[in-house]
Structure 1
């Protein structure tokens, strides 16, 4: 395989969020031959089985997930748990027949927040990933404090240390993905 394609899905809808910034920084440090798109979730409605026809925003998200060999999930922490936008994206994808969009895909989890940098939410997300039969990269983990100068006002990563952590994680995700393909 000459080209590997990943999809970044961020749980924050705010354009200047540090978690979206982590996805952009991960995109910038990908190994050669690897590409990553970043999904837009702002117009994706909450999942409901009452919605008959999938909205275009959902069709777009599902097509992006289908075309990716692996996922990078940027996980904000809301009340010690996963942000609703991220969980909703996974919920929509999991409703496809036999969970075929998610089952067997590799995942790296990143997150920026206060104190422990979304560690509680990331561990909760790992539980969800187990149910969805996603293969979560165990190490390296990326937990970033969003309030200690690691990001600028636009959510862009300022820290070389954070970029190095992301580069190591992306390299490990690529290795795991190629091993499982």
Structure 2
């Protein structure tokens, strides 16, 4: 495959969130044949099984964007030691009805940033549990619990010098993972 479309799911709605900034900066570290597209999840209805037979247009759009991708990159915040509700809602909407999950088989990467010293370690672990159930081969190493502090981003939004080598190595592993596992 010569081009890879990557669906990027940011688990934060805040316009200038650390994780949205991280997702944008990480995309710059990818190779030219990788196109990163942040998916919209703020307009999804709360998942309700009663709607499985007639999903909202926003749910159909999300599922279509995932289906058109060769991989998924989750960039998540951590709320109360777990994944944000908006992220779980997006996952649930795109995985239903049972047997029609848009996520199945899509190679995934999980990363996140937080002002806390352990980054988003707990949220990432919870997310990995969900992704295992969804049959998404998920990059296990290296783990990346990014501490959002001064210097993480340059003025132009790129990754700062102190973190660039580590995050470039993470991106290189993610790229290899997608290439190995994309269908």
Under a length normalisation based on structure 1, what TM-score does the superposition of the two structures give?
Answer: 0.89
Distance in structure 2 (CA, Å) of the matches to 1:107 and 1:141: 13
Q: Does 1:8 align with 2:8?
A: yes
Label 1:78 to 1:149 Cα distance change in 2 as closer, same or farther (>3 A): same
Partner of 1:47: 47
The count of residues paired between Structure 1 and Structure 2 equals: 180
Q: Does the CA-based 8 Å contact 1:18-1:157 persist in structure 2?
A: no
Deviation at 1:75, TM superposition (A): 1.3
Under a length normalisation based on structure 2, what TM-score does the superposition of the two structures give?
Answer: 0.88
Q: Which moved more, 1:137-146 or 1:115-124?
A: 137-146
Deviation at 1:157, TM superposition (A): 5.1
Q: Which moved more, 1:47-56 or 1:112-121?
A: 47-56
Q: Does 1:63 align with 2:64?
A: yes
Secondary structure (helix, strand or coil) at the match of 1:2 reads: coil
Q: Does the CA-based 8 Å contact 2:3-2:33 persist in structure 1?
A: yes
Label 1:158 to 1:174 Cα distance change in 2 as closer, same or farther (>3 A): closer
Q: Which has the higher strand share?
A: 1
Q: Does 1:125 align with 2:121?
A: no
Distance in structure 1 (CA, Å) of the matches to 2:167 and 2:57: 32
Superposed CA RMSD in Å reads 2.1
Distance in structure 1 (CA, Å) of the matches to 2:43 and 2:167: 28
Matches within 5 A, 1:73-152: 73-96=74-97, 98-113=99-114, 114-151=116-153
Distance in structure 2 (CA, Å) of the matches to 1:6 and 1:38: 8
Gaps of 5+ in 1: none
Q: Does the CA-based 8 Å contact 2:26-2:167 persist in structure 1?
A: yes
Partner of 1:23: 23
Summarize deviations over 1:68-122 as a string: whole Å, max 9, x none. 1111001111111011111111111111452442111111111011221000110
Q: Does 1:160 align with 2:172?
A: no
Gaps of 5+ in 2: none
Distance in structure 1 (CA, Å) of the matches to 2:27 and 2:142: 17
Structure 1 runs (4+) deviating above 6 angstroms are: none
